[in-house]
Chains A and B, each alone.
Chain A
Amino acid sequence: MKKAVLTRASKLFAVTTLAAGISLANAEDTIKVGVLHSLSGTMAISETTLKDTVLMMVAEQNKKGGLLGKKLEPVVVDPASNWPLFAEKTRELLAKEGVDVIFGCWTSVSRKSVLPVIEELNGLLFYPVQYEGEESSRNVFYTGAAPNQQAIPAVDYLMKEVGVKRWVLAGTDYVYPRTTNKILESYLKSKGVDAADIMVNYTPFGHSDWQTIVSDIKGFGSAGKKTAVVSTVNGDANVPFYKELANQGISAEDIPVVAFSVGEEELSGFDTSPLVGHLAAWNYFQSADADINYDFIDQWHAYTGDDSRVTNDPMEATYIGFSMWAKAVEKAGSADVDKVRQAMYGMTVPNLTGGMATMNANHHLSKPVLIGEIQADGQFDIVWQTDGEIKGDAWTDFLPESKNIVADWTAPINCGNYNIVSKTCGSAVAAE
């Protein structure tokens, strides 16, 4: 413990001196990598890890001699969990620092804030977090899961393998849970689930008093039918939520909770022994049994100097994004955004679970979907996984308004929201 603190302090010192040093050694012969993750404010808890992951990957790449004979130079900024600041910092990275690629953002709103800037200045953003879909920008590669790569398979698993008949959809009140729940509601109804067997509940960000809601869930679940909770509760609110679940004695055998935003990192903040058996759906778990994964974990522990640090899905998404970008730069022979973008399509790199990740023309990845059960040590035990990789769907098929829309950034379509019925790009035209 003490050692970890010491190393952290010395690392902090190193980073600052490094930051000061970097701005001096601002030479032409580097490829600049922007890192746009909040290091302070409410999102720092999740995003700081991703900043470290990118820095680790950059260091690793530089050890291998960089790219195209040039060293990679990370440029770290802190958008401080402030959404307008994300846009401002993006402009700073692209216009002032002239970075060739940006790894960053966590929340949907930060991505939405960055979007106009990155499109205007033709930058390149790798977005590593699972999200609600309904978007495909020419300048963004989405390496996290789309709803069809997380929510739908998880519900399928609960329905088929666990026999769940009654559903609680609990989420934080923002766009990702709203969309996911909407998709799930329509999916569940299509599978014959009665509206009375679905309970939807939204809570504010950082909600900390879960007594009433957990007790409602308990009540809802004691109606005789097998009940499960699908949780899209976000970030900070999860710890008090799970603590309350544990305290009120809701065990996984009675009412399993499957979460889409709870990974190893969130679990590391509390004692999971009362929560054994609750589930999460991701494209990666630290417990994945693959050599490449063990290498990655060792590398991470060496980099952080702390072998109790866990890895998680957004880290894998960052890893895949970075490897793909590096490979694309080599392939294109340049870090130029348009050339790299073209090189990305169809690009394949190994993922950390032993399979391959492919970048599709809609800027989303093909990934496997894994269901894990929480273990007493804060890890997940993988209990189920899809047979192969699932292709990320930018526009969900379960909502009427996006059913006919697809994204394809290769010729001849070359469009992020192409209406397959009217065969036009941008539904504006289609609506007429």
Chain B
Amino acid sequence: MSIAPKHIEQPSVLYMDGVSVSFDGFKALNSLSMCIEPGEMRAIIGPNGAGKTTMMDVITGKTQPDCGTVLFNDQHDLTRYDEAAVANLGIGRKFQKPSVIESLTVFENLEMSLRGGRSVWQALRHRLTAEQQDKLDHILALIDMTARLDTFAGNLSHGQKQWLEIGMLLGQQPQLLLIDEPAAGMTDEETMKTAELFKTLAQHHSLMVVEHDMDFIAALECRVTVLHEGSVLAEGSLASVKANDKVIDVYLGR
């Protein structure tokens, strides 16, 4: 299947067209095209080396593509921005390995993530406003860590770190969230709780979730894109994708 050329009347949060990246001759992304609409939640699956992480690197400004277009909100050419600028445009990223600041407390981690005040001078003069305090309380409640706000992030369990990182994403108030394998290392119960959380989030944000756990993806109840060798292999509902012959061949099939 092929993605239709971009129509102005169909707005998108993220638009990628013909993106290719190669490392020393190895094609990590091969003319990848994809489009995410406002408020959409999208799950990405694909075998190892399919280019999932590289795709996220390209979106977040970490890796420069060799060619192709990456547009955010139909106006910002993301290839011209670096990580910090992309983040400040409103794209949050969660890594596969939980990446929180271990020698800061839960509270300090979240405080750092709050939107605004990114310049050195603002950071030096920073005071927490009542509005920001409310926002923090809200996030703490959402990720269920109100009781742990003084704990050093390094002392949290794996699952808690994942949640803290998601909390930090929320603090950024991004339009688009890129989430890499959130369910890895979580108990079944935590996994389902996370899926519920994402569905809540999807009411206000666009989400792109990379995941291996099929149960989790099923619980998300969203469109699924299958990546293979750096390009899109199939796209549609989980059921339709699962029925796709090509997908069965490379990924699900024996």
User: In the complex, A touching B, CB below 8 Å?
Assistant: no
